[in-house]
Structure 1
């Protein structure tokens, strides 16, 4: 066995020993252990201060742990603040240990130290599993955190997919559904915690996200238990599904009121590229992995500039691009989840369920008359949605990379149609923002346009682009198909 293998095995042994000591402490009060933490061990301990508050999701995790405790014990504790939190990244999970301060209204508002722990699933459907939620045991009380942690490793977990949104009249089934009254939303503020977690999870890359602008409009609870005496008892069912409708109002102000933005590809942002700072490339056949650091301009913030980071898998064979990171660069006191996103993307790119099917042929002559599935984009919309041009330029550039005289400014879009299998969109142009869609683009290429000779020769072309976006992780793949050889145009 070589020296490198011996060192690696020794590193693993030291990590196991360290994590066993962390387990003995329940994962919470481990400050005295951190100086002996091995370099390979991905365990992070953080204390909060006025200048370095806890991230939004840690606050939500603490509120969720308190909710669990209240639900089981019949108490009414409230979150008062976060003391510290520890995180152990153990792909495909991250394990969180949050020490908070809770207020007890029943005891005159007295404060109590509260501890809660979660498994956060990194891959697939986002899920949180809470295995500890309790006031911190006193010095003479038994601490069973170690046993709870070990037991949680072997807990049964429901791997089934979440159901689709119910049909139009489903909530009329009073045996299984209960539509929550507005007054009950205030009394059960944990429903908002559920929504904020679901909302934040889908949009972690948007730094300007303001959870206070999320407005609940309707909540229905489903449970298979038909024997509950009162309909609103479903709120406290141990096994239930919550269907929540909401509006996100990022531009609320006195002059313009609440301008709700529909949940879609992006929420409440309109960043524009200002420039490129640097880029890195890892060649990992059959993929290239690109890491681009750019500068983006935010028109909503007076044109202020922000450092933006994005990463892609570029498939070398059968051209496609998969974006697994797209976010403003985290600040010095913000958690950087790039590592988890990269590891998750490795799993996504190797997934046997990934759509490897070929792109469809160009539709028949009258196909675009099918208004249920196709939407022909108006010319005025092309200016507002300049990302369509990005799709075309990528499809056009990919087969012609060897042509140095290629001028993308001479590409002119003449027609765009969008196909999606979703027939339930309220407005036809909503297909533009469908997570899964196929774009059929007609264009002209005018390489020799000038005042004396006009545009000559002009070549007509077509491009087909398929977009697939995971609704939870945001992992997005673009596949391209277009005219393969324009070399004779340039010779």
Structure 2
């Protein structure tokens, strides 16, 4: 028998009151954990298919989609912590993560990292990433902390929990608005604004490769279906850092500047993909990417915004940006049949 609104028995419906109760109970548990390390929390099977917003949990065993993206988010969170704290924690492994099921998602990552200069043992970290746009690198990292530190904050020190972080860190010119065009040779000769990263620094700062992979993968999440080994083919030719610091600052300080544009020239990407753009094909082609990093002085939130350069624009470009995230309320009965 075909199920329709007319022939579904009344007892098969989920009332608005029950829907609200299950939703509120679920998000109460999520709020208590701030979105991290959710254990044995779910909604009843008969509520599956309703417009209730839930998160999905994955273990860090690699059996999940967007592995390169998730790994990059972990490393970006650790970089935020390292810049602020003056440490050098490196990713050891991902334990698990929770993610909201949207076109632009929020990731709550639990991972292990180690800094040999601090301790020989690994530490458990919590990292929160909130995407701002679909189809390009654009996110905010509002949490990057050692898990033990979160326990000592106390309820009074915590902000009210919301599933999505709205907005980004405050910044000043030139680190606001759209990303800048690629600088001219004349501009690059200005040593007070631009610093050419040398080869030894490039090898010692693996976050630069992380930025490049995040730009490529954010633009093209199907790249692994065409080339599972694309990362091993990437070759960074040179990197220029634009900061507000003058040339009296040592290179180490400019590399970890809280506000910076990172200009990356590379090759080894056979066929770049980006919304409404076409690129010359070939591993030999030199390509360019720009990434902006901004870390807020007051909150510590870090944003990354990036793009591939050099493509031919093929039409009007649209990005899906995150809305308010507010869940629509309904006074009517949820028209979802129980699935027992």
TM category, shorter: 0.5 to 0.7
Query: Which one of the candidate residues 212, 215, 221 is aligned to 1:195?
Result: 212
Q: What RMSD in Å do the two structures reach over aligned CA positions? A: 3.8
Query: Which one of the candidate residues 260, 263, 267 is aligned to 1:243?
Result: 263
- Check if 1:226 corresponds to 2:250: no
- Check if 1:132 corresponds to 2:140: no
Aligned partners of 2:102, 2:221: CA distance in 1, in Å? 20
Q: Retained in 2: the 8 A contact 1:47–1:83?
A: yes
**Are the structure 2 counterparts of residues 232 and 134 from structure 1 closer, same or farther at C-alpha, using a change threshold of 3 Å?**
closer
- Check if 1:49 corresponds to 2:61: yes
* Equivalence for 2:93: 81
* Equivalence for 1:113: 124
TM superposition shift of 1:43: 1.3
* Equivalence for 1:468: 315
Q: Compute the TM-score of the two structures, normalised by the length of structure 2.
A: 0.66
**Are the structure 2 counterparts of residues 41 and 262 from structure 1 closer, same or farther at C-alpha, using a change threshold of 3 Å?**
closer
Aligned partners of 1:267, 1:46: CA distance in 2, in Å? 37
TM superposition shift of 1:169: 2.3
**Are the structure 2 counterparts of residues 220 and 471 from structure 1 closer, same or farther at C-alpha, using a change threshold of 3 Å?**
farther
> Residues 169-213 of structure 1, C-alpha deviation per residue, up to 9 Å, x if partnerless?
221011111111111111211111111111111121222252122
TM superposition shift of 1:100: 0.7
Please give the residue correspondences for 1:315-354 in structure 2 after superposition, counting only pairs within 5 Å.
none
Aligned partners of 1:45, 1:268: CA distance in 2, in Å? 38
TM superposition shift of 1:51: 5.9
Aligned partners of 2:30, 2:281: CA distance in 1, in Å? 41
Structure 1: 5+ residue runs without aligned partners? 250-260, 270-423, 426-433, 437-466, 474-491
Matched residue SS, 2:130: strand
TM superposition shift of 1:60: 1.0
**Are the structure 2 counterparts of residues 267 and 43 from structure 1 closer, same or farther at C-alpha, using a change threshold of 3 Å?**
farther
Please give the residue correspondences for 1:11-30 in structure 2 after superposition, counting only pairs within 5 Å.
11=19, 14-30=22-38
**Are the structure 2 counterparts of residues 86 and 230 from structure 1 closer, same or farther at C-alpha, using a change threshold of 3 Å?**
same
**Are the structure 2 counterparts of residues 157 and 168 from structure 1 closer, same or farther at C-alpha, using a change threshold of 3 Å?**
same
- Which structure carries more relative contact order (alpha carbon 8 Å, separation 6+)? 2
TM superposition shift of 1:31: 1.3
Aligned partners of 2:252, 2:119: CA distance in 1, in Å? 29
Please give the residue correspondences for 1:406-417 in structure 2 after superposition, counting only pairs within 5 Å.
none
Query: Which one of the candidate residues 154, 160, 174 is aligned to 2:191?
Result: 174
TM superposition shift of 1:27: 0.7
Structure index of larger Rg? 1
Matched residue SS, 2:148: coil
Structure 2: 5+ residue runs without aligned partners? 1-9, 171-175, 283-308, 321-340
Matched residue SS, 1:468: coil
Aligned partners of 2:198, 2:206: CA distance in 1, in Å? 13
Please give the residue correspondences for 1:254-273 in structure 2 after superposition, counting only pairs within 5 Å.
261=270, 263=272, 265=278
Q: Retained in 1: the 8 A contact 2:133–2:139?
A: no
Q: Retained in 1: the 8 A contact 2:137–2:219?
A: no
Matched residue SS, 1:110: coil
* Equivalence for 1:58: 70
Aligned partners of 2:252, 2:190: CA distance in 1, in Å? 14
- How many residue pairs were aligned? 268
Q: Retained in 1: the 8 A contact 2:94–2:111?
A: yes
- Check if 1:435 corresponds to 2:282: no
